[in-house]
Structure 1
């Protein structure tokens, strides 16, 4: 299960690297432990992201990674777009005004 935690941290780093090429990091905080992690960052172009994850016991020999977080960015329209989410044994569950409701 620790490999899943490491993978989640690496994916988060890829998201950070995907920021606009001319944007600079103005704030970055991270904390990685054996069974949990958290990070947040902000870039000079107004992009913000934060996430925390931890292992959740589903049974005597079964753990799941549960993650919660949010991100926001300023779109080409000049508006700030924001999404919050939870990802756990029930799947990825995003929320935000920019997500169409079916």
Structure 2
């Protein structure tokens, strides 16, 4: 019995487990750019050998004023585990984060009955009650 446990332990230690590792874990960065400019402007880009790409640029709008805000735009692309090519672009500014991509979920259409009911309510507003 001790020999069997020892043999299994040695076999597991010598086993090739490279198929278990995720190749994305060891992907090397093949491009990395960073430019931090004056007055709050910047841009960066990165690319890995497994096809992941991302870039972003931003600027400080109305620098020095009370309503100073940052405006950012960027994009990223990668391949999903299912093999689908994913592309994401985004803008983030005073109006919030606004992503775009075909992989993002979208709300279902509003049912026709609800649209008709909303139109009826708009066309027939309730009368104000007098006290």
Question: Shorter chain as normaliser: what TM range?
Answer: 0.7 to 0.9
2:36 corresponds to 1:32:
yes
Q: Which has the higher contact order (CA 8 A, sep 6+)?
A: 1
- The aligned runs of 1:5-16 (5 Å cut-off) are none
Root-mean-square deviation (CA, aligned residues, Å) is 1.7
List structure 1 runs of 4+ shifted beyond 4 angstroms. none
* 2:88 corresponds to which of 78, 83, 87: 83
> Which residue matches 1:66?
71
TM-superposition CA deviations, 1:33-76 (whole Å, max 9, x none): 24111001100111000000001128942210110000111111
Q: Which has the greater radius of gyration?
A: 2
Give me the TM-score of the superposition, normalised by structure 2: 0.59
| Structure 2 segments unaligned to the other structure (5+ residues) | 1-23, 108-131
Name the one with the larger strand percent: 1
Q: Specify which structure has the higher proportion of helix.
A: 2
Aligned position for 2:103: 98
